[in-house]
Amino acid sequence: MPEYKAPLRDIQFVFQEVFDCEAHYRKLGFEDVDADTINAIHEEAAKFVEDVVAPLNRIGDEQGCQWNDGEVTTPDGFKEAYQQYVEAGWPTLAQNEKFGGQGLPHSLQQPISEMISAANHSWGMYPGLSHGAMATLEEHGTDEQKARFLPALVEGRWTGTMCLTEPHCGTDLGLLRTKAEANADGSYRLNGSKIFISAGDHDLAENIVHIVLARLPDSPAGTKGISLFIVPKVNVNEDSSLGERNGVHCASIEHKMGIKGSATCVLNFDDARGYLIGEVNRGLHCMFTFMNAARLGVALEGVAASDAAFQGSLAYARERLQMRALSGAKNPDGAADPIIVHPDVRRMLLTQKAFAEGGRAMSADLSMLIDTTHKGTDADERARADAKLALLTPIAKAFLTETGMESTSHGVQVYGGHGFISEWGMEQLMRDTKISCLYEGTTGIQALDLLGRKVLGSQGELLKGFMQEMGSFLGECSADEQLAAHAAVIGQYLEELQSLTATIGKRAMSNPEEIGAASVDYLMFAGYVVLAYYWLRMMATAQQKLADGSGDANFYTAKLQTGAFYFDRVLPRAKSHSACVQNGGDSMMAMAAEHFAF
Ligand SMILES: Cc1cc2nc3c(=O)[nH]c(=O)nc-3n(C[C@H](O)[C@H](O)[C@H](O)COP(=O)(O)OP(=O)(O)OC[C@H]3O[C@@H](n4cnc5c(N)ncnc54)[C@H](O)[C@@H]3O)c2cc1C
């Protein structure tokens, strides 16, 4: 099992050196959040994750969760680790001080979430879901609801869930049937069944606050008739003390491919008491707060998977001796050379590294935009942050999880046959990571969101804004020959992105299927190009640091070398996605559904 080490140096590089988070925090009024504070928090979190969370990863997979008589038990050690997490105050870090939080910026929390996910995806699901529940309550709850539910969630004494999926409805939430009927006292009673609810039941916390989509009897059909409710597992009195058990019960847990330590529950609502959040029939609108937070959280799981796979592969590739380097022995005293000398092994390692570090930079930028939307005082700046987040969220969610999945596959491959054997941990990583491409909207659904809603739906406005940002950075690279060459390459891809967008838009006017046919290739094309932009930003910083002679030359040189690999050997994949888009959807749509097999 590879030992997990938090990538603290790279976290520092990305947040502090590339994006100057200290200046960003000062601007948002977080005067005290300086480099020492940031580093101290992340170092402390790293110790907790490495010593407490990471060692539970294997046992979580082997034992999984257990369901007995309606109660879920998490794997050995999960509960104790969660208690330590709460006692150390970690859940409170970036939460509102009004409800017991420490009021620190969201982006300060982000590396901690990445570390937890890389060390133990399953365990990270329990605190992870609470973040979305808290964000939804804070944005859309009444003052009374916030006072009643938020302090215990912030403290971590309770956890949260999101309850959307039903047996017959996953992607298409307009089909959902869970019913909510008004009680005389202003509360509601909910009846129905939800499936696949992560952290839907467990033994880590004394209560669970479910955020549930349901339909009132007289509501219109489809997505316009959905409302949002708080449904606690144990009823909560007005003073926040616990009352009687509510009518929501875990009917079973799923047996699944990965994240076995995360309880995936069937929840039955039998006259469960609930409270409306926001307005009637505006539930999906409110739920988008949860979903957007959750999508970026899942994008980070992709980054974490790339990093965990890279760490495991690198350790193995340095130790495993097989064959000699093509150019002659590199370890003449050994029986063979370590496999890291072989170009193909390097291809896999550098691909993982490029996805992990590039994805970290992209996620860091997005997390700082979230800070701006929360705390920014300039309305224009907040609007720009919102627009960029809207465009990049589906790209981050889908591209970073697909590349995370690829990284874990390389992880198995670097280990050879041993990668297929459980004790090395690589096959678990691959099984655990697949879910990130599925939940919170599959890759296909993110691609439709990007192309249909965000790009074409805004008549290209959202894309234009981000293209301008990228264009002006590319211009800044003109003074340096190497950076300017990479910037010119990105410039060409950006022109191609515009032309692909125009082509699809034109075709879609006569055939709407063209959007669906192009969408995933379009998203992947955009993903490779956007990641190139973040790589160029990192390379520019590394170049500057080397020129300044600020030390750590090996780190900055490795950054430039990884960036060069990305431009040479990964970015060109975008061309095949472009070709697929240009070829259109005719060959995809020609075959009659009944002719797929005879
Ligand atoms: C382990 C696990 C944990 C989960 N946790 C939660 C949770 O906490 N809360 C919750 O509410 N849900 C949860 N889910 C549910 C998850 O979000 C859904 O499984 C997911 O959104 C897909 O829905 P579905 O499974 O019904 O697939 P479907 O919607 O049936 O989709 C099947 C396939 O069809 C494709 N498809 C569907 N419609 C279109 C279209 N219009 N265009 C192109 N392709 C399309 C999809 O991309 C997919 O490939 C979880 C699922 C799992 C497995």
The CA dihedral of 523, 453, 498, 301, to the nearest 10 degrees, is: -30
DSSP strands (E only) in 169-320: 179-182, 188-198, 207-214, 227-232, 234-236, 242-245, 248-253, 264-277
Angstrom distance (rounded) from CA 131 to CA 310? 27
Distance 430 CA to ligand 1 centre (A): 19
The pLDDT value given to residue 550: 84
Angstrom distance (rounded) from CA 485 to CA 271? 64
**Predicted model pTM:** 0.98
CA-proximal residue: ligand 1, atom 37 (nearest):
171
Distance 443 CA to ligand 1 centre (A): 10
Distance 428 CA to ligand 1 centre (A): 22
Angstrom distance (rounded) from CA 235 to CA 198? 20
CA-proximal residue: ligand 1, atom 16 (nearest):
439
Closest atom of ligand 1 to CA, residue 165: 11
Beta bridge partners of 209: 160, 232
One DSSP character per residue, 364-383 reads: HHHHHHHHHHHH---HHHHH
| pLDDT tens digits for range 51-65 | 999 999 999 999 999
**Among residues 17, 406, 440, 514, which one is catalytic?**
440
CA-proximal residue: ligand 1, atom 44 (nearest):
444
Mutate to test the pocket of ligand 1, among 202, 439, 446, 449 (most ligand atoms within 8 A of CB): 439
Residue 441 and residue 385 in contact, taking contact as beta carbons nearer than 8 Å = no
Stretch 278-292: mean pLDDT: 89
Closest atom of ligand 1 to CA, residue 198: 8
Residue 2 predicted with pLDDT over 80: no
What count of other Cβ atoms lies within 10 Å of the Cβ of residue 429?
27
The structure tokens listed for 369 are: 């935009």
Mean pLDDT of the chain: 97
Reduced to 3 states (helix: H, G, I; strand: E, B; else coil), residue 441 is coil
| pLDDT tens digits for range 424-450 | 999 999 999 999 999 999 999 999 999
Q: Which residues of 287-314 are buried (b: 16+ CB within 10 A; e: fewer)?
A: bebbbbbbbbbbbbbbbbbbbbbbbbbb
Ligand 1 shell residues, CB under 6 Å: 161-165, 170-171, 196-198, 256, 264, 435, 438-442, 444-445, 448, 516
Angstrom distance (rounded) from CA 308 to CA 217? 48
Residue 418 and residue 489 in contact, taking contact as beta carbons nearer than 8 Å = no
| pLDDT tens digits for range 357-399 | 999 999 999 999 999 999 999 999 999 999 999 999 999 999 9
Q: Which pLDDT band holds residue 242 (cuts at 50, 70, 90)?
A: very high
Of 460, 585, 441, 581, which Cα lies nearest the Cα of 523? 581
Task: Give the angle subtended at the CA of 80 by the CAs of 77 and 84, to the nearest 5°.
Answer: 135
CA-proximal residue: ligand 1, atom 29 (nearest):
171
Angstrom distance (rounded) from CA 290 to CA 210? 12
Residue 288 predicted with pLDDT over 90: no
Distance 435 CA to ligand 1 centre (A): 10
Whole-angstrom CA distances from 331 to 1, 340, 345 are 25, 11, 16
Residue 137 predicted with pLDDT over 70: yes
Residue 427 and residue 258 in contact, taking contact as beta carbons nearer than 8 Å = no
What count of other Cβ atoms lies within 10 Å of the Cβ of residue 428?
23
| pLDDT tens digits for range 167-222 | 999 999 999 999 999 999 999 999 999 999 999 999 999 999 999 999 999 999 99
Can 496 be counted among the known catalytic residues? no
What count of other Cβ atoms lies within 10 Å of the Cβ of residue 479?
8
Of 80, 13, 68, 77, which Cα lies nearest the Cα of 42? 13
Of 264, 293, 371, 382, which Cα lies nearest the Cα of 113? 293
Residue 312 and residue 119 in contact, taking contact as beta carbons nearer than 8 Å = no
Specify the higher pLDDT residue, 285 or 555: 555
CA-proximal residue: ligand 1, atom 50 (nearest):
196
Beta bridge partners of 162: 211
| pLDDT tens digits for range 500-519 | 999 999 999 999 999 999 99
> Using a CB cutoff of 8 Å and minimum separation of 24, what contacts does 216-221 make?
216/179, 216/180, 216/181, 216/182, 216/280, 216/281, 217/179, 217/181, 219/280, 219/281, 220/281, 221/174
Percent of the residues in the chain that have a pLDDT greater than 90, as a whole number:
97
The pLDDT value given to residue 291: 84
The pLDDT value given to residue 10: 98
The structure tokens listed for 197 are: 């609810």
Measured in residues, the chain has a length of: 598
The pLDDT value given to residue 289: 78
Residue 1 predicted with pLDDT over 80: no
Distance 228 CA to ligand 1 centre (A): 19
Pinpoint the alpha helices (H) of 217-319: 283-319
